[in-house]
Amino acid sequence: MKNTCSNFCLVCFAISMSCSVCGLTDRCMKRCVQCKAVIYCSKSCQIKDWTVHKLKCTKKEKDSFLDKKNNMQSQNQPVKLFIKHNHEKHCVLIPQTLLNPKCILNIISEELLIPLDSLNLIAKGKVVNEDNVSDIVFRMKIRQFMAVGEAQESEKGMHIGDIDTIVEQLNVDRNKAIRGLKHCGGNLIDALLYVGDSL
Ligand SMILES: *[C@@H]1O[C@H](CO)[C@@H](O)[C@H](O)[C@H]1NC(C)=O
C-alpha cells in the first residue's frame, strides 16, 4: 500500500514519496511528465530508468486532441498562490510536478525572503505546515494564503563574512547584524560597536 501510494497517488504523496530508482526520499521529487506515474529524485535517476520505463510509459493516446491539449496545459501550468505578507500581496508559482512539500515551502520562503524556520503560513485561519501544504495546494486547491514572519534584510552589497562575524561575536540574529552594518555604511568595527551598544 505504502509503495503504490509513494509512486502515484496524488492524495497520498504528502505522506510518503520515494524515488522510483534509488528510493531517496528527501529531495525535490519530480514526476515523469508524460505518464505522471513514476517519481524521480533527479534527472540522472530518470535517465537510468528510461530504458525500462519507456516500455510502460503511456501517454493517454485515446483522449481527443483537444482534451489532451487542455489536459497537458492544465497539468503543466504552475499553480499560482497569492500570499499576503506585511500588506503586500505576492504571487508565487508552484510547479505541479513538485511533489515534495518541503520544496513548496522553500519556494515560498525564497519568494517572500522569509527564512524557512521563521515562515508561518496560514490558510483559511489554519496553520499550513509541511504535513498538509501539498494537500491544501493540490487537492483542496486553496490559493489565498497569509504569511507571518520577519523578512530577511537584503544582504546585497554586504560582505557575508562581516555579517557572520557580528552574528558570532555578539550572538545576535542575522537581520540585526545586517541593519547594524547598513547603519554604519558597511564598516565592520563601527557596526560591532553600534550593535553591541544596542544590546
Ligand atoms: C495543518 O496541520 C496542522 C497541524 O497538524 C493543523 O493544526 C492545521 O489546522 C492544518 N491546516 C489545515 C488548513 O487544515
Q: For 52-99, write each residue's pLDDT tens digit.
A: 888 888 764 544 555 556 655 566 688 999 999 988 899 999 988 877
**Do 80 and 96 contact (CB within 8 A), yes or no?**
no
**6 versus 91: which is more confidently predicted?**
91
Class of domain 160-197: mainly alpha
Residue 81, C-beta contacts closer than 8 angstroms, at least 6 positions apart: 91, 92, 93, 94, 108, 137, 143, 145
Q: What is the pLDDT of residues 105-140, one digit of tens each?
A: 999 998 898 888 889 999 999 999 999 999 999 999
Domain 78-148 maps to which CATH number in 3.40.50.2300, 3.40.190.10, 3.40.50.300, 3.10.20.90?
Answer: 3.10.20.90
Nearest atom in ligand 1 to 142's CA = 13
Residue owning the nearest CA to atom 12 of ligand 1: 126
Q: Note the pLDDT of residue 27.
A: 61
In the chain, residues under CATH classification 1.10.8 are: 160-197
To the nearest 10 degrees (0 to 180), the angle between helices 188-197 and 160-170 is: 30
DSSP state string for 17-60 = ---TTT---SS--EE-TTT---EESSHHHHHHHHHHHHHH----
Which is more confidently placed, 149 or 77?
A: 149
**C-beta of 195 in contact with ligand 1 (< 6 A):** no
Instruction: Give the ranges where the chain is alpha helix by DSSP (H).
Output: 2-7, 43-56, 65-76, 101-112, 133-134, 160-170, 174-183, 188-197
What residue owns the CA closest to ligand 1's atom 3?
A: 127
Q: Is the CB of 33 under 6 A from ligand 1?
A: no
Decide: helix, strand or coil at residue 6. helix
In the chain, ranges of CATH 3.10.20.90 domains: 78-148
CA angle 181, 187, 188 (to 5 degrees): 75
Q: What angle do CA 103, 131, 150 make, to 5 degrees?
A: 60
pTM for the predicted model, two decimal places: 0.54
